[in-house]
Amino acid sequence: MIREVARIEIDPVDTERFEAAVAQAIPHFRAAEGCRSFRLDRSVDRLGQYWLVVGWDSVAAHVDGFRSSSGFQAWRALVGPFFVGPPDVDHVETALDGF
Amino acid sequence: MIREVARIEIDPVDTERFEAAVAQAIPHFRAAEGCRSFRLDRSVDRLGQYWLVVGWDSVAAHVDGFRSSSGFQAWRALVGPFFVGPPDVDHVETALDGF
């Protein structure tokens, strides 16, 4: 499994509405092929900064599969209007699982 | 619990030695007061990019406690020489735990 890590910035005044929109979009990830887990983290240092952490079977499941799907379009329709810039996306694998 | 999320960049030629140095430093986190978990993620998109994800009881346990400790000095002595710039550090809390 790999994890998509996406840093998302929104206007802090939209915090509640953004989190509600993300919650509403969860079924689109749950239905996505190869999607294993979904979490939204909120920065406590920088208001309006979020980290989306989504587990996928592979990078392809995310990039080739999900991004071409209607689920992705639904996700972006819900949350895209809150983005103040393009999300900064990385894909990671565990190098060391300390404890 | 909060999580420290630190983006670390190293020269890709140092990958193996960097990961070995991080592994060697794990006991300093295990011994740190208020430290709950430790993981190092490796980017599969950008060679030499890593994400350190450390669970703490609070931001203060990390910033006021650990950073003033000899364990932090030992950590930095082991891994600091590999950094090509200062790590980009954020602290996050779970906003939505989807699945």
So where are chain A's domains?
A: 2-92
Residues A50-87 have pLDDT tens digits of 999 999 999 999 999 999 999 999 999 999 999 999 99
Across chain B, what does the average pLDDT equal? 98
Residue B76's pLDDT band (boundaries 50, 70, 90)? very high
Give which of B58, B59, B51 is closest to B7, Cα–Cα: B51
Tokens 């969860």 locate to A26
Q: What CATH number has the domain spanning A2-92?
A: 3.30.70.100
Tokens 């740190």 locate to B32
- Least Cα separation, residue A29 to chain B (angstroms): 9
Tokens 């980017």 locate to B43
CB contact under 8 A, A29 and B98: yes
DSSP A65: I
Residue A14 buriedness (CB in 10 A; 0-12 / 13-18 / 19+): middle
